[in-house]
Amino acid sequence: MKLTHMLVFVALFGGGACQYTYGYFNWLSRIMGYSRSYSNRYFETELEPPLPTDCPAECTCPRIFPKAMYCDTRRFKYIPKVPARMKYVYLQNNQIDGVPEGVFDNATHLVWVVLHGNKISNEKIGTDVFSKLTNLERVYLDHNNLSTIPFPLPKSLRELRVAGNMISKVPPNALEGLDNLTMLLLNDNQLEDIGGSLKVLKSLSFLDLSNNHLKKLPDALPNSLHQLYLDFNHISVIPNEYFKQFPKLQYARMSNNELTDNGIPLNTFNVSSLIELDLSHNKLQKIPPVNENLENLYLHANKIKEFTVDSFCKTMGWMSFSKIQVIRLDGNSIRQDNIPPEMHQCLRRARIINI
Query: What is the band of 342 on the pLDDT scale with cuts at 50, 70, 90?
Result: confident
How many Å apart are CA 334 and CA 101, to the nearest integer? 61
Q: What is the pLDDT of residue 173?
A: 87
Mean pLDDT on 133-146: 98
Mean pLDDT on 215-228: 96
Query: What is the band of 9 on the pLDDT scale with cuts at 50, 70, 90?
Result: very low
pLDDT one-digit tens code per residue, 83-98: 999 999 999 999 999 9
Comparing CA positions, the residue from 70, 73, 154 lying closest to residue 109 is 154
Query: What is the band of 49 on the pLDDT scale with cuts at 50, 70, 90?
Result: low
Q: Which amino acid would we find at residue 133? A: L
Does the pLDDT value for residue 76 go beyond 70?
A: yes
CB 322 within 8 A of CB 347: yes
Q: Which residues pair with 89 in a beta bridge?
A: 69, 113
Comparing CA positions, the residue from 139, 196, 199 lying closest to residue 169 is 196
Residue 223 CA to chain centroid, in angstroms? 20
For the chain, the domains span: 1-51, 236-355
How many Å apart are CA 79 and CA 9, to the nearest integer? 48
Mean pLDDT on 300-326: 89
Give the number of other Cβ atoms within 10 Å of residue 2's Cβ: 7
Does the pLDDT value for residue 152 go beyond 50?
A: yes
Query: What is the band of 38 on the pLDDT scale with cuts at 50, 70, 90?
Result: very low
Q: What is the pLDDT of residue 335?
A: 85
Q: What is the pLDDT of residue 172?
A: 82
Mean pLDDT on 200-215: 97
Q: Give the pairing of strands 296-298 and 326-328.
A: parallel
Mean pLDDT on 66-83: 96
CB 88 within 8 A of CB 63: no
CA dihedral over 223, 228, 233, 239, signed as positive or negative: positive
Mean pLDDT on 217-234: 96
Does the pLDDT value for residue 250 go beyond 80?
A: yes
Burial 30-47 (b: 16+ CB within 10 A, else e): eeebeeeeeeeeeeeeee
Q: Could you give the percent of the chain with pLDDT greater than 70?
A: 85
Comparing CA positions, the residue from 237, 245, 198 lying closest to residue 214 is 237
Mean pLDDT on 110-137: 97
Distance (Å) of CA 322 to CA 261, 297, 313, 348, 349: 22, 12, 6, 7, 7
**Taking the chain, what is the end-to-end CA distance rounded to the nearest angstrom?**
68
pLDDT one-digit tens code per residue, 19-34: 333 333 343 334 444 3
Question: Most distant CA pair in the chain: distance in Å?
Answer: 85
Burial 240-275 (b: 16+ CB within 10 A, else e): eebbeebeebbbbbbbbbebbeebbeeebbbbebbe
Query: What is the band of 317 on the pLDDT scale with cuts at 50, 70, 90?
Result: low
Query: What is the band of 339 on the pLDDT scale with cuts at 50, 70, 90?
Result: confident
Mean pLDDT on 293-315: 94
Q: What is the pLDDT of residue 297?
A: 98
Q: What is the pLDDT of residue 318?
A: 67
Does the pLDDT value for residue 344 go beyond 50?
A: yes
Tally of CA atoms within 13 A in the half-sphere of 253 that contains its CB: 16
Query: What is the band of 50 on the pLDDT scale with cuts at 50, 70, 90?
Result: low
Q: What is the pLDDT of residue 337?
A: 80
Instruction: Report the 3 state secondary structure along the chain.
Output: CCHHHHHHHHHHHCCCHHHHHHHHCHHHHHHHCCCCCCCCHHHCCCCCCCCCCCCCCCCECCCCCCCEEECCCCCCCCCCCCCCCCCEEECCCCCCCCECCCCCCCCCCCCEEECCCCCCCHHHECCCCCCCCCCCCEEECCCCCCCCCCCCCCCCCCEEECCCCCCCCCCCCCCCCCCCCCEEECCCCCCCCCCCCCCCCCCCCEEECCCCCCCCCCCCCCCCCCEEECCCCCCCCCCCCHHHHCCCCCEEECCCCCCCHHHCCCCCECCCCCCEEECCCCCCCCCCCECCCCCEEECCCCCCCCCCHHHCCCCCCCCCCCCCCEEECCCCCCCHHHCCCCHHHHCCCCCEEEC
Q: What is the pLDDT of residue 47?
A: 53
CB 174 within 8 A of CB 148: yes
CATH (one of 3.40.718.10, 3.50.50.60, 3.80.10.10, 3.40.50.300) for 236-355: 3.80.10.10
